[in-house]
């Protein structure tokens, strides 16, 4: 499960350092390259809840095999893509494979370890693998691009995915499907369409050439319409994507909202690090990747410390600490950019981002899956992962999109993006403070 999670997480960020090479190879500009990044995360995030439901209905082992196979085949297609359109299609398929496999994988882990210190440690390992995969995506991409070319950032995961397929087939026990329960396919499609249209509207608004002036408002209206239709479809569905009982669990609702807000800032910071190193300082792929190495090391350290403090402090205190660390990190990014400092000056901000992710995401994951059962482990895991990914992609779209848009009037884009992220983090802190702690979390704190 950890190996699958690692390579899925790597593919979220591995393309960032590779974007200039991909653009040069296919002759496309930065506007088009945006879809290589957000297409994967939006498709994956939008379909995650369907993936969680599929695992609950059809069996987690079967869905794990299907999702892992789709992800591996899409990785191979991306590495061999003869055109930019096929590359984007492969990235969308990678997101679909992730959405099918990950909720089942997380549900297997949640059901394997009972609530308390054991589940806390298991989720901390899971979060550590995610964090390291996200950051090592930057580091590995720089090395691989320098030595082998950008196509290998996708091809290198294919043999490891084959290992995961074999391991799942032999180690994960099979389950009896629940039965012929209908699935909410319209709701899933609308949940993907809304953020995709929203991203299209924001990205097109920021185009410097002003081409297709009618597209941004049409896309934004379409995104709003898809959101409204999604709510209507969920109310009418006999088996909604998000069961109504989920909305009666206030801690889970608020934990997922805080996850989206925190992930928006964390994902924004990753892209700002890359832009500063490669665009502002004109560092090559290898140098940019190696400069990100302290972030990976710090994430490992934070993931070791966080689970120990989770039981001692309580989940809410850990989350608030993580949000505070992230606020300091975004402030550091703005200051370094304002001063025009060298790449190593970003290392303190990277270490604070690592602490923010290690403390914040682990605590929120723990709250979001507290009290799950065999019947809803998949959907709870899928919603939590969807909040994480859709929050991250939305943060990039809004914070970076507004900060780097021509309409910013010459203001430092790093300053604007960081200020917007800090505002979102303030909202995350308020939401976290309002979370009523589940009984299991409170009992663990007193142990």
* Angle (CA) 44 46 51, round 5°: 70
Range 113-134 average pLDDT: 75
- Entry pTM: 0.77
Taking only the tens place, the pLDDT of each residue in 74-116 is 999 999 999 998 998 999 899 899 888 887 887 778 777 777 7
Name the residue among 340, 339, 337, 391 with its Cα closest to residue 361. Answer: 391
Tokens of 27: 């002759």
Neighbours of 405 (CB within 10 A): 17
Inform me whether the pLDDT recorded for 151 exceeds 50: yes
Distance in angstroms (rounded) separating the CA atoms of residues 390 and 41? 7
Give the confidence band of 31 by pLDDT, cuts at 50, 70, 90: low
The residue assigned the tokens 């802190």 is: 429
Segments in 59-116 forming alpha helices (H) = 60-80, 84-112
Name the residue among 144, 146, 166 with its Cα closest to residue 154. Answer: 144
pLDDT of residue 75: 93
* Angle (CA) 146 72 264, round 5°: 70
Range 112-137 average pLDDT: 74
Range 125-147 average pLDDT: 76
Inform me whether the pLDDT recorded for 420 exceeds 90: yes
**Rg over CA atoms, the chain:** 20
Distance in angstroms (rounded) separating the CA atoms of residues 169 and 69? 12
Give the confidence band of 217 by pLDDT, cuts at 50, 70, 90: confident
In sequence order, what DSSP letters do the residues of 334-358 get, joined into one string?
Answer: HHHHHHT--GGGGHHHHHHHHHHHH
Inform me whether the pLDDT recorded for 158 exceeds 80: yes
pLDDT of residue 227: 86
Range 347-355 average pLDDT: 91
Could you tell me if 392 and 263 are in contact, meaning their C-beta atoms sit under 8 angstroms apart? Answer: yes
Distance in angstroms (rounded) separating the CA atoms of residues 322 and 316? 10
Range 210-228 average pLDDT: 83
**pLDDT mean across residues, the chain:** 81
Could you tell me if 99 and 47 are in contact, meaning their C-beta atoms sit under 8 angstroms apart? Answer: yes
Could you tell me if 131 and 351 are in contact, meaning their C-beta atoms sit under 8 angstroms apart? Answer: no
Inform me whether the pLDDT recorded for 443 exceeds 60: no
Inform me whether the pLDDT recorded for 38 exceeds 90: no
Inform me whether the pLDDT recorded for 208 exceeds 60: no
Name the residue among 263, 251, 250, 257 with its Cα closest to residue 360. Answer: 263
Range 157-176 average pLDDT: 85
Range 400-429 average pLDDT: 84
pLDDT of residue 445: 46
H and E: helices and strands count for the chain: 18, 0
pLDDT of residue 309: 76
Give the confidence band of 331 by pLDDT, cuts at 50, 70, 90: very high
Name the residue among 279, 278, 280, 302 with its Cα closest to residue 290. Answer: 278
Taking only the tens place, the pLDDT of each residue in 229-251 is 988 887 787 777 777 777 777 88
Distance in angstroms (rounded) separating the CA atoms of residues 429 and 442? 19
Right CATH number for 2-172+241-445 from 3.30.1370.60, 1.20.1250.20, 3.90.320.10, 2.60.120.640? 1.20.1250.20
Inform me whether the pLDDT recorded for 50 exceeds 70: yes
pLDDT of residue 140: 77
């Amino acid at each position: 499960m950890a190996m699958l999670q690692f390579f899925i997480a790597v593919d979220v960020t591995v393309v960032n350092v590779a974007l200039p090479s991909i653009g040069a190879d296919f002759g496309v500009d930065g506007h088009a390259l945006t879809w290589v990044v957000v297409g994967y995360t939006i498709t994956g995030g939008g379909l995650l809840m369907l993936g969680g439901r599929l695992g609950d209905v059809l069996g987690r082992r079967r869905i794990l095999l299907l999702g892992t196979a789709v992800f591996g085949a899409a990785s191979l297609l991306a590495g061999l893509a003869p055109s930019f359109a096929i590359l984007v299609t492969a990235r969308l398929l990678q997101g679909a494979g992730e959405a099918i496999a990950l909720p089942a994988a997380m549900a297997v882990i949640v059901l394997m370890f009972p609530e308390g210190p054991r589940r806390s440690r298991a989720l901390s390992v899971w979060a550590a693998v995610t964090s390291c995969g996200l950051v090592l995506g930057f580091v590995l991409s720089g090395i691989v691009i320098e030595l082998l070319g950008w196509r290998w950032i996708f091809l290198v995961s294919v043999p490891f995915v084959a290992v995961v397929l074999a391991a799942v087939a032999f180690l994960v026990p099979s389950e009896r499907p629940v039965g012929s329960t209908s699935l909410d396919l319209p709701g899933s499609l609308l949940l993907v369409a809304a953020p995709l249209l929203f991203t299209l509207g924001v990205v097109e608004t920021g185009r410097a050439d002003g081409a297709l002036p009618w597209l941004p408002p049409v896309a934004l209206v379409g995104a709003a319409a898809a959101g409204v239709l999604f709510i209507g479809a969920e109310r009418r569905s006999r088996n909604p994507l998000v069961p109504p009982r989920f909305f009666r669990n206030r801690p889970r609702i608020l934990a997922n909202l805080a996850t989206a807000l925190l992930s928006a800032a964390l994902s924004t910071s990753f892209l700002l690090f890359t832009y500063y190193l490669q665009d502002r300082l004109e560092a090559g792929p290898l140098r940019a990747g190696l400069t990100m190495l302290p972030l990976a090391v710090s994430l490992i350290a934070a993931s070791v410390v966080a689970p120990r403090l989770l039981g001692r402090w309580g989940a809410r205190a850990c989350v608030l600490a993580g949000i505070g660390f992230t606020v300091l990190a975004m402030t550091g990014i703005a200051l370094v950019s304002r001063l025009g400092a060298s790449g190593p000056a970003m290392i303190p901000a990277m270490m604070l981002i690592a602490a923010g992710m290690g403390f914040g995401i682990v605590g929120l994951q723990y709250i979001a899956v507290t009290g799950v059962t065999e019947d809803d482990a998949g959907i709870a895991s899928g919603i939590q992962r969807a909040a994480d990914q859709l929050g991250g992609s939305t943060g990039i779209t809004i914070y970076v999109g507004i900060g780097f848009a021509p309409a910013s009037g010459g203001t430092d884009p790093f300053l604007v993006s960081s200020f917007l992220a800090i505002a979102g983090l303030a909202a995350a802190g308020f939401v976290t403070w309002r979370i009523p702690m589940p009984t299991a979390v409170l009992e663990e704190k007193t142990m």
